Structure 1
């Protein structure tokens, strides 16, 4: 299921796109917005995979919106103006639909977005929301606060991102997850584990304890963990 939003200032066109979305089983409409300013606020709070975006709108154009924001979602332009097609594809949009849009053409564009999303990385971050990562699991895009993550564990062909409330099963490598996490808050302590440094409660020569779980430390990581502890102690001694 792909979470999507509509950004369109014309009410009739918004309703038509809503109707088209309702006919496609793999789409779920999260919200609609009459301009990019409202859309930006929605993207701050909702996990979104796909944006249906008009170009000429009040306050800000769809082109300006993509140029000024960190948008990692798939974007399908729906517009009455063919002259912006080149700019659209330079911005790497998924498709460019001309009004009036037939359902067949709309469906084809959505299939293209679905294929692209299926082939992209399952862990993403957004520089406009540095306190979160987005992960794809159970066919949904989940937004996880970095502060909630206790540790990440590598399994056979997936990883578990463990928070105090739940576990997220993500079909990704531990390396990909590690690259999406800030170095000052997380440390890879073993070939199978990344830990949130703030949640470590106990440290021994070969293990750390987080939320009652003992996790192994590799010899290579022991020095990095000692350096982190020394930095924290120095900071505490020099407030």
Structure 2
């Protein structure tokens, strides 16, 4: 599922694009904005993969928005002005749609964005070698062994993978990363944290300790933690407290 937003000052066009998004199964609309200033606020609170962006808007144009801000999402321009096409592609936008936009053309642009997002980014798990994964970081594919991962932290549109040697900042969601990790080795303890079970040194009431890092346990995930601790206590190597 790709989270997307619409940045468009014309209400009728916004409504049309909303209708198109509802018809495409892999798109999920998380917000609409009538100008880039509102869009920036949405990007600071929501995980967004794709932006449908108008060019000519009051206060700030779509081109100015891309030039002034670090926009890492895929961007599809939707405009009535063909003369900005070259500038759009100089800004490395995914596609350039002319109003009025047909559903067929809209779908092709979304498919192109989907290939870029899932084909170039996120995380690819090699099925023949289930003991590691590849992530794209600084335009390079980095191989990370599962055994080296300490924990993974969500940071809005990114995740930080902390290993025994270094940290990797990857454009992805925690949910996407979790889908590529073996459940027997990793546990989600909080909406923002996944930990490697073999690196946990201490379990507390509200946190765990991993290689000196204290990570919070959320109430939602507390039951999962308790189930795991029950499994540990059934292990023959577990020594129960002696009663006096």
The count of aligned residue pairs is 156
Q: 1:34 to 1:155 in 2, by over 3 A?
A: same
Which segments of 5 or more consecutive residues in structure 2 lack a partner in the other structure?
A: 124-143, 171-199, 213-244
CA RMSD of aligned residues (A): 3.4
Q: Is the 8 A contact 1:78 1:96 kept in 2?
A: yes
Q: What is the CA deviation profile of residues 121-168 of structure 1, one whole-angstrom value per residue up to 9, with x for unaligned ones?
A: 338xxxxxxxxxxxxxxxxxxxxxxxxxxxxx95279985268xxxxx
Q: How many Å separate the matches in 1 of 2:149 and 2:78? A: 36
Which segments of 5 or more consecutive residues in structure 1 lack a partner in the other structure?
A: 124-152, 164-169, 182-206, 217-239
Equivalent residue, structure 2, for 1:14: 14
Q: How many Å separate the matches in 2 of 1:214 and 1:72? A: 31
Q: What is the CA deviation profile of residues 86-116 of structure 1, one whole-angstrom value per residue up to 9, with x for unaligned ones?
A: 0000000000000111000000000000000
Q: How many Å separate the matches in 2 of 1:157 and 1:8? A: 45
Q: How many Å separate the matches in 2 of 1:85 and 1:46? A: 28
Q: Is the 8 A contact 1:52 1:75 kept in 2?
A: yes
TM-score by length of 1: 0.57
Equivalent residue, structure 1, for 2:91: 91
Within a 5 Å distance, the mapping from 1:67-106 to structure 2 comes to: 67-106=67-106
Q: 1:209 to 1:54 in 2, by over 3 A?
A: same
Give the CA deviation at 1:174: 5.4
TM-score by length of 2: 0.56
- 4+ residue runs of structure 1 moved beyond 4 angstroms? 156-160, 172-175, 207-216
Q: 1:173 to 1:119 in 2, by over 3 A?
A: farther
Higher relative contact order (CA 8 A, sep 6+): 1
Q: How many Å separate the matches in 1 of 2:163 and 2:113? A: 26
SS in 2 for 1:63: helix
Does residue 178 of the first structure (1) align with residue 167 of the second (2)?
yes
